[in-house]
Amino acid sequence: MSYSKQDRRFVAHVDMDAFFASIEQRDNPAYRAKPVVVGADPKGGKGRGVVSTCSYEARKFGIHSAMPISIAYRKCPHAVFLPPDMGKYEVASSHIYQVFYSFTPEVEPVGIDEAFLDITGSFHLFGTPLGTCLKIKSKIKKMTGLTASVGLAPTKMAAKIASDLEKPDGMVEVAKEKILDFLWPLDVRRIWGLGQKSEEILAGMGIKTIGDLARADIKNLKNILGKNGEYFWQLANGVDERTVDAETDAKSVSNETTFDLDTSDDVLVESALMALCEKVSARLRRDGLKCRTITLKIRLEGFFTYTRSLTVPEPTNFTDSLYKVIKDLYNNFSTRNKKVRLVGVRASNLASSDFQDSLFTEQGDKKLEAIHGAVDAIKGKFGEDSICRAKSMPS
């Protein structure tokens, strides 16, 4: 394909294929060509938690990410079920990102296993845009032994969709002049950010494909979907001005836990929340960060999931400060007599720990910093479980 001077934007979306499961298959030949499921312990079909990822062999049985692990077990009890090994996956991820940055500095991380790359200003160093993407795939394979699927397009949404169409080990290029030919036949659910409720509304309007959405009356869409109606209409017509954001600073720090059994025991839930606050606050201090916004995540039986957030006046990374907010959010949340399946804590709206809103640091804050520093030092030397608050200890 020839490239004119007008075709100046080239966005690649690189998505690793079944990342966790592929690493396990790479490292253990006995797992290759077998259905592999990485996630919670299935406990013979009675386990809690969900599937993190699964191999393509497992997907043939209808298993997919975020599926309850008990259902995955029922679909394929002979699969190889493995717990996540995040340390190993992070090492592989760091190698993959080294590859990304060897082709362009314009890298927007999406997760441990995918990213957007703007190669507009660098592809000429490696040949054509398509040739550059093929070299990225080849270098990832050589460095990690893993395959990646890549979408190349003039917009982020088209690139993301393209990377998913020929998995595994796919490579799909979308030319600027062909973007509508590419998008319009596809199911409307492929629109980036389109939720299930919006999809159902559009289906009720007879809109099933991206082309249907592009040809719909924009005023009608705005009346029904609000400002999202115009936004989705623009995406359907190939208009996507989002740029690759090379910002690499952490946006949030979070941790969550799934109970072995759904529970209505407030003492157990609050104990778990304290333990999560300890982990999140320790991570914030280790990374030299404080947060302003604190979020409670709660999942009830039946997989109904909710979040509640509060933004505090001054940034903090103290465990007790996080827990006070989280406990208040939990106490003010009505479970409507449903049991709790999962809880999580997220810290966001981050700032450097050197940042101070006030000119003077309270003496009490200095003491708390010293205490937290001592706790972090003990855990660093003797392990995470060597010291904890009594509130976070299981009863």
More confident residue, 231 or 303: 231
Matching residue, tokens 């809103």: 357
How confident is the model at residue 215, as a pLDDT? 97
Q: Is the pLDDT of residue 379 over 50?
A: no
Q: Verify whether residue 114 is a known catalytic residue.
A: yes
pLDDT digits (tens, 9 = 90+) for 14-68: 999 999 999 999 999 999 999 999 999 999 999 988 899 999 999 999 999 989 9
Q: Is the pLDDT of residue 391 over 90?
A: no
Percentage of the chain lying above the pLDDT 90 cut? 70
Matching residue, tokens 């600073």: 249
How confident is the model at residue 387, as a pLDDT? 45
Of the pLDDT bands very low, low, confident and very high (cuts 50, 70, 90), residue 240 is very high
Q: Is the pLDDT of residue 100 over 90?
A: yes
**CATH architecture group of domain 1-183:** 2-Layer Sandwich (3.30)
How confident is the model at residue 27, as a pLDDT? 97
How confident is the model at residue 374, as a pLDDT? 47
**Phi (first) and psi of residue 161, to 5 degrees:** -60, -45
Q: Is the pLDDT of residue 365 over 90?
A: no
Average pLDDT of the residues in 108-129: 93
Q: Is the pLDDT of residue 227 over 90?
A: no
Q: Tell me the one-letter amino acid at 51.
A: V
Q: What is the CA radius of gyration of the chain?
A: 24
Query: Which of 222, 157, 148 lies closest to 189, judged by CA?
Result: 157
Q: Tell me the one-letter amino acid at 143.
A: M
Average pLDDT of the residues in 237-245: 92
Average pLDDT of the residues in 66-83: 96
Q: What is the mean pLDDT of the chain?
A: 87
More confident residue, 391 or 211: 211
Average pLDDT of the residues in 198-213: 94
β-strand pairing of 171-173 with 148-153: parallel
How confident is the model at residue 247, as a pLDDT? 62
Q: Is the pLDDT of residue 377 over 60?
A: no
Q: Which CATH superfamily is domain 252-392 in?
A: DNA polymerase, Y-family, little finger domain (3.30.1490.100)
pLDDT digits (tens, 9 = 90+) for 264-291: 999 999 999 999 999 999 999 888 899 9
Average pLDDT of the residues in 364-387: 48
Q: Is the pLDDT of residue 367 over 70?
A: no
Choose from 39-48, 149-158, 188-197, 292-301 the range with maximum mean pLDDT.
149-158
How confident is the model at residue 151, as a pLDDT? 98
Interhelix angle 86-103/19-27, rounded to 10 degrees, is 110
Query: Which of 106, 163, 394 lies closest to 263, judged by CA?
Result: 394
More confident residue, 113 or 250: 113
d(CA 302, CA 176): 44
Average pLDDT of the residues in 75-91: 94
How confident is the model at residue 363, as a pLDDT? 43
Domain range list for the chain:
1-183, 184-236, 252-392
Of 57, 108, 114, 278, catalytic: 114
pLDDT digits (tens, 9 = 90+) for 313-359: 888 999 999 999 999 999 999 998 999 999 999 999 888 775 444 33
d(CA 200, CA 100): 37
Q: Is the pLDDT of residue 70 over 80?
A: yes
CATH topology of domain 184-236: DNA polymerase; domain 1 (1.10.150)
Longest CA–CA span in the chain (Å) reads 68
